[in-house]
Amino acid sequence: SNKWLHVNQLMRDKRIGVLVVQETHMDERRRQQVEDLFCQRIRIFATGDPDNPTGKGGVAIVLNKELVDAMAATAVTIKEGRALSAHIPHKQGKGLTVLGIYAPNDPVQNEYLWEDIVAFYDHPLNKGVPRPNIMLGDFNIVEQALDRMPQHEDRRETVEGLRDLLIKLNLHDGWRQMNPAERAFTYHQVATGSQSRIDRIYASKPICRQAREWQTRPTGI
């Protein structure tokens, strides 16, 4: 499709090693078709909505074979259609683990997602699953009123659920740390004119210390 053609071109032109995509509407058959079409450059991990994988939701993590060891990477579905983790090994270190998120719009269901992810990592059978160095995607909530226009706080229990997960994983809002008072929005609701920064990247302390060129740009997808 045009969407995946653009994803392939974007990763080539911008030299993106790891890309997280939401609203993929992709079952395993579709994932394989797209990966086969662009197999020279990308490898795709995906999780679809459990009830309607080709009709709504879904998360994919796309790896650029030219920049990362994509064929040695592994993935784990944390929550079907909502949370997907991929570990990319590196010869000179422990590698990188990315957790891609597509959170529900409903505040209560949003809260449940964070609780489910915490429960996943707490489960004894999942002790061997690498913890993410980076968590990114569409969170559908903000932590601060500053990240909405007009400004307003999001549901307290939902925000606390996300923060509990961030504490557990020891992840931080890198852009906000670099820009404590700045406003930048990733989503514009045309009907109301409201804007928000619901799409974010959380990273480990070592990554936050090294990352400097945080940018918010339209993808064109």
pLDDT (mean) for 46-75: 96
CATH of 2-210, one of 2.130.10.10, 3.60.10.10, 3.40.190.10, 3.40.50.300: 3.60.10.10
Q: Is 133 annotated as a binding residue?
A: no
User: With the C-alpha atoms ordered 76, 163, 192, 178, is the resulting torsion angle positive or negative?
Assistant: negative
| Cα–Cα distance for residue pair 167/202, rounded to 1 Å | 11
Average pLDDT over residues 215-220: 84
pTM of the model: 0.95
31: which 2 tokens?
A: 């994932």
pLDDT beyond 80 at 183: yes
Chain segment 128-150, per-residue pLDDT in tens: 999 999 999 999 999 999 999 99
Supply the angle between the helices 107-122 and 156-169 in degrees, to the nearest 10: 20
In this prediction, residue 92 has a pLDDT band, given cuts at 50, 70 and 90, of confident
Nearest of 94, 95, 7, 90 to residue 46 by alpha carbon: 7
Res 136: pLDDT: 98
CB 70 within 8 A of CB 88: yes
Q: Is 116 known to sit in a ligand binding site?
A: no
CB neighbour burial string for 32-61, b if at least 16 within 10 angstroms, e if fewer: eebbeebeebbbbbbbbbeeebeeebbbbb
The residue among 17, 83, 85 whose CA lies nearest residue 50 is 83
Distance (Å, rounded) from C-alpha 88 to C-alpha 95? Answer: 6
Take residue 19 and report the two structure tokens written for it: 């890309």
> Mean pLDDT score of the chain, rounded to an integer?
96
- Per-residue pLDDT averaged across 191-205, rounded? 97
| Extents of the domains making up the chain | 2-210
Any bridge partners for residue 196, and if so which? Answer: 148, 187
23 marked among binding-site residues: yes
